[in-house]
Amino acid sequence: MDAKLYSRVTPEQVDNPDILVFNRALSDDLGIDTEEITGQILSGQDLLEEPIAQAYAGHQYGSFTVLGDGRAMILGEHVHNGNRYDIQLKGSGRTPYSGRGDGKATVSSMLREYLYSYAMANLRINTSRSLAVVETDESIERRQTEPGAILVRVMNSHIRYGTFQYVASRAPGELEAFTEYVIDRHYPHLNNSDRKYVEFFDEVMEASVEMVVDWLRVGFIHGVMNTDNMSIDGETFDYGPCAFMNYYDEDAVFSSIDKHGRYAFGNQQKILKWNLERFAESLEPLCSDSTVTFDEIQAKLDSFEDIFEAKYYTMMRQKLGITSDGAEAVVDEVLDWLRTSGADYTNTFLELENPGSFDDPIYSSPEFEQIQEKVAEVGLDENLMKQANPRYIPRNYLVENALTQYVEGKDLSRFKALLNVLQNPYESNEATSRFQEPPPKEFDSEYTTYCNT
């Protein structure tokens, strides 16, 4: 590919890299010999090849801009058991796309991404994964001064909707070759199809819908659903101003920069459709010289609402233990009750599954008892509910307490305890029941997350 799509870069020198956390399960999945892993390797000091920073574009809060990896570098590709992975450093120094930024990251922001990606993987949601957090000996100034850190991120692909937008706008002559490369790398079963561009769009849309429906299943709010943060492989990534919803609120926003609620919990379906429209536009030039017409891609896009709604109601039936199709009216009644009551989203389904689990007067109300009765008439299959409803999520206050403990006292005990609970988030444990407690409502009303760039 033409060098317009990336730049060769060099990670900044780190004199005393210290491995804070290391994901041995991921290391095993990648077939990496942990005995050979050092802080020098994980911080990009010992290189096997020359890293690159990618160029891309994106609609950020609705406005198109040209971007790139401002604080990230792909070290290279790792192949294991026929699977190919990108290994990327985040926070490793300036690149040609850094603008006025320093390309660095704070230790709290990299520990946060490690924890959230770890949780999402164990919640069985398609996601980037974090191999390690390496602390540097440099102080980084953001909202406060903290030690610097580098995250080692693993993904099937760092190609995003915004990469296609970049190629279509800046290197249109390479759009076909680039698309062919992406299909061959990530969707090779489409190679021999004469409708491959339509089918490619369809599969990207399908993967993205499944990803966002899974977010809604566990109450996750991504917080920055710009087109440059949407993977063509349906992987959740860029855990900046993300959070988990405690008390049900479709308008829930925790990001400091989302002033108008564009990426609120209840808007994520709508924004995914908007982002897919932009992705489709970037593919339109491919339709002029092929057997595919843009109307065919548009027809796929027109089916988005039906596909999303079908997957969403299937997911909600599973959360309610409903084994048969239909019962949308019951799902809607549960959602109406959640909207009115503002009950804890995660714990409500656990209470339906096992009444008396939580000592909360909201679950003793006549309204909730009516909900229990209606759900019991059609659902409450315990096995189905246990697969769909996590016992534990990374509740915002627990995450903040763990990060604060390390930043202020160099103590990772709360962080590791949270990792331990999130290793098996679908298994109840009396010894860790305190991790199920929601925060005071005042906490969520004031809680704010940041991009930390």
Quick: pLDDT tens for 313-350. 999 999 999 999 989 999 999 999 999 999 999 999 99
Percentage above 70 pLDDT, the chain: 98
Judge whether 135 lies within some domain: yes
Judge whether 147 lies within some domain: yes
Could you list the residue range(s) of the whole structural domain that residue 108 is in? 3-155
Residue 452 pLDDT > 70: no
Q: What are the residue numbers of the active site?
A: 228
pLDDT, tens digit (0-9, with 9 covering 90-100), for 101-146: 999 999 999 999 999 999 999 999 999 999 999 999 998 998 889 9
pLDDT, tens digit (0-9, with 9 covering 90-100), for 393-424: 999 999 999 999 999 999 999 999 999 999 99
Judge whether 365 lies within some domain: no
Judge whether 95 lies within some domain: yes
User: What are the b/e assignments for 73-100, b being 16+ CB within 10 Å?
Assistant: bbbeebeeeeeebbbbbbbbbbbebbee
Judge whether 104 lies within some domain: yes
Judge whether 132 lies within some domain: yes
Judge whether 418 lies within some domain: no
Judge whether 273 lies within some domain: no
Alpha helices in 156-263 (DSSP H): 161-170, 175-186, 196-218
For the question of whether the overall pTM of this predicted structure is more than 0.85, the answer is yes
* Higher per-residue pLDDT: 48 or 350: 350
Residue 276 pLDDT > 90: yes
- Structurally, the chain folds into a number of domains equal to 1
When computed from its CA atoms, the radius of gyration of the chain, rounded to whole angstroms, is: 22
- Residue 361 CA, distance from chain mean position: 34
Nearest-5° Cα angle at 423, 111 to 242: 45
